[in-house]
Structure 1
Amino acid sequence: MADKSILIVDDAEINRGILSEIFKEEYDVLEAENGRKALEIIAAKKDKLAAILLDIVMPEMDGYRLLEKLSEYKIPAKIPVLMITADGSTDAERKCYEKGAADVIHKPFDSMVAKHRVMRSIELYESRRGLEQKVTDQTRVLKKQFMVLKKQEERLRETNARIIDTICTIVEFRNLESGYHLKRIKGFVQILANTAMRNYPEFGLTPHKIEVITNASAMHDIGKITVPDSILLKPGRLTADEFDIMKSHTTRGCEIVKMLADLQDKEYLEVSYDICRHHHEKYDGKGYPDGLKGEEISIAAQLTSLADVYDALVSDRVYKSAFTPSKAYEMIKNGESGIFSTKMLACFDIARPEMEAMVARTKAEEEANAAAGGAGMMSQ
């Protein structure tokens, strides 16, 4: 260990000489006759020091004061400091340990015993440093692996979301809806949810929950893929039997969500299932399929329901033309499209400008794309 040094701090030259003889074969030995000189050496050589042997009784700065000074810089946590004293009392020994000493060697000392105790302290510190380094290395490796897994999880989540959105878009195309319907539903849900989070903390909404609900809201009508075209695309009023079949899209949607379980994590699956089944429930209990009432309806289903009703009103459908946003607002507030909670309606009031802006923006995009498509066909 010639690359390591031991510092002996003692005002008595003879004591320094005796200790130097003990360790000179294994270590470079450095000497200081007082505490101030020791501080200079430690500042310059601390990375090379294997141990510090410190006499207590010294002029200028005694061993206790020097130990306190070293503790301020956390030196005893990195380098074992062994106190050398002729005071064999328990109080003196306790004081050494309280101030950070690794061990205490009593004068007069046996050279073999002193060497053994110093070497044991050095080995313990080196072993601890080795373990700390292993923990640090393993933590670094685990952190790197975690980041890789997290990125893989994010990519998988993005892929799954695209698959789900594609499936839902196919349903909307079959329903003669444009892809903007899903875009608006998700946008309306996000706007309403953020408004609810800011104004009604009792809903327990968080940014993470809002993200899950927003993405899951795209699944609300997936069950319509099971509804026959003759009913789904009927321009007139549905008969009672036809309406029963149409209403089944909620429960059939739940069956499809279960089949997609491998593409979704548990939380997303549960919210998607809830939205599919309950987005037609009404606050007064007159919705379907379960006739839920009041707060029996989850916040996710309430948000999706209001977003779906609003988009249905402001959009062209096979059975009606689009209402203006202001007319749609009045119809929802007046209960013409089902009853919503006062809190949901209050959120709707606050979010109205942002939702109307989204309607205008998406309809402009839709018209521009349609015009571009028509122009393309004319040029062929």
Structure 2
Amino acid sequence: MADRAILIVDDNEINRGILGEIFKDKYAVLEAGNGVEAMQIMDKQTDKLAAVLLDIVMPEMDGYQVLEAMVKKDNLNETIPVLMITADTSTEAERTSYQKGAADVIHKPFDPVIVDRRVARTVELYDHKKHLETQVDDQTRVLKKQFLYLKKQEERLRSSNEKVIDTIATIVEFRNMESSYHLKRIKGFVRILGLTAMNNFPELGLTPHTLEVITQASAMHDIGKISVPDSILLKPGRLSNEEFEVMKSHTTRGTEIIELLKDVQDKEFYEMSLDICRHHHERYDGGGYPDRLKGDENSIGAQLTAIADVYDALVSDRVYKSAYPLDKAYDMIKDGECGVFSQKILACFEFARPDMEKLVNDTKAMEEAEKLK
């Protein structure tokens, strides 16, 4: 313990001598005759001090003023315990000492045993506190490193999920003879509609995170079309009832394909992809397929993807039709010609119309530019 010091601050040399004798075998003893000297010593010996024994009544700078100065100096009294020395045995003296930040109070005349034990106990408590704070700091640093590592892992996994989704969805696009911008538009429409819903209908429960998951998962909505025969998928004319039943099966066949990817996808993305793939042809009045979900039985993610998919089908060229003008496509959806959507979803569609039409025009301009290359 000799490498640690006790600072005794008292204008009475005899008192300093008595206290010094108590601690000379345990600590290096430093002495100050007044508060000014005490602050000078603390400035130089801060790291070495185990405790400060501070007399209250002193010339130039009394004990309370020293304590106040320590508080102003980065709360020094919280790292170095201060025990006030006083002959005043009143409750008021003790209360004032504690209120100003003292750890304990020692009364004159000194009892060596009591003084020794009080100082030892106080130093031990402060040392234990410092040890705990150090442990907490160390653990906090470790946890922060682990958090950053997990965050990077999560970002890598999410990036991997998006690549898997986009790659598979792009394969379906090529087979379906759809524009390479179909996927970009679907995700763009879902994001635009979702942001509108989040800002205007908080009761739908959308958050920036859930919307991002929905947006990425929406790319998997038509994955099941990979199992539909070309004779049906690429038929330029109207489908027969039997052919339409096969086409409708892309919702359930798609979920089977997504289930095969369960082990390589994040759980949240997997579940959202599964839901959107199966239910993006459901309608609010129960007139959709395959489960004839009605009202809010269908998830917000599937509902957003449903209207985005219908809108893109209307404004895009397909093997069985030419693209409708934007005004016509908008009116067809609003008038219920493409199935029934919830009033909230239709309101979002109306609010988001300018941004959705801009996305259509921008992607078509890009397509035309590519054709000219």
Query: CA separation in 1, counterparts of 2:183 and 2:264?
Result: 19
SS at 2:372's partner residue?
helix
Query: CA separation in 2, counterparts of 1:334 and 1:22?
Result: 95
Query: CA separation in 1, counterparts of 2:357 and 2:96?
Result: 75
1:290 corresponds to 2:287: no
Please list, as runs of the form range in 1=range in 2, the aligned pairs for 1:1-40 lying within 5 A after superposition.
Answer: 1-40=1-40
The equivalent of 2:160 in structure 1 is 159
The equivalent of 2:243 in structure 1 is 242
1:311 corresponds to 2:318: no
Q: Which residue type is aligned with residue 244 of structure 1?
A: E
Q: Which residue type is aligned with residue 48 of structure 1?
A: K
| RMSD of Structure 2 on Structure 1 (CA) | 2.4
Query: CA separation in 1, counterparts of 2:124 and 2:203?
Result: 58
Unaligned runs of at least 5 residues, structure 2: none
The equivalent of 2:146 in structure 1 is 145
Give TM-score, length-normalised by structure 1: 0.89
Q: CA deviation at 1:47?
A: 3.2
The equivalent of 1:375 in structure 2 is none
| 1:355-376 CA distance string (max 9 Å, x none) | 111112112222333333xxxx
Query: CA separation in 2, counterparts of 1:317 and 1:333?
Result: 21
Please list, as runs of the form range in 1=range in 2, the aligned pairs for 1:35-184 lying within 5 A after superposition.
Answer: 35-59=35-59, 62-64=62-64, 66-67=66-67, 70-71=70-71, 73=73, 74-87=75-88, 96-97=97-98, 99-111=100-112, 113-184=114-185
1:194 corresponds to 2:160: no
Unaligned runs of at least 5 residues, structure 1: 373-380
Query: CA separation in 2, counterparts of 1:197 and 1:48?
Result: 58
Report the more deviating stretch, 133-142 or 38-47: 38-47
Q: Which residue type is aligned with residue 216 of structure 1?
A: A
SS at 1:105's partner residue?
strand
| 1:287-314 CA distance string (max 9 Å, x none) | 1112222222222111111110111011
| 1:102-123 CA distance string (max 9 Å, x none) | 3343433344553344234323
Query: CA separation in 2, counterparts of 1:166 and 1:88?
Result: 82
Give TM-score, length-normalised by structure 2: 0.90
Q: Which residue type is aligned with residue 10 of structure 2?
A: D
Query: CA separation in 1, counterparts of 2:248 and 2:234?
Result: 14
Report the more deviating stretch, 91-100 or 259-268: 91-100
Query: CA separation in 1, counterparts of 2:153 and 2:287?
Result: 44
- Whether the aligned pair in 1 keeps the contact of 2:56 and 2:62 (CA below 8 Å) is yes
The equivalent of 1:376 in structure 2 is none
SS at 1:322's partner residue?
coil
SS at 2:283's partner residue?
coil
Q: Matched residue pairs, number? A: 372
Query: CA separation in 2, counterparts of 1:348 and 1:157?
Result: 28
Q: Which residue type is aligned with residue 146 of structure 1?
A: F
Query: CA separation in 1, counterparts of 2:198 and 2:296?
Result: 16
Q: Which residue type is aligned with residue 241 of structure 1?
A: E
Report the more deviating stretch, 43-52 or 217-226: 43-52
Query: CA separation in 1, counterparts of 2:221 and 2:303?
Result: 12
Q: CA deviation at 1:45?
A: 3.6
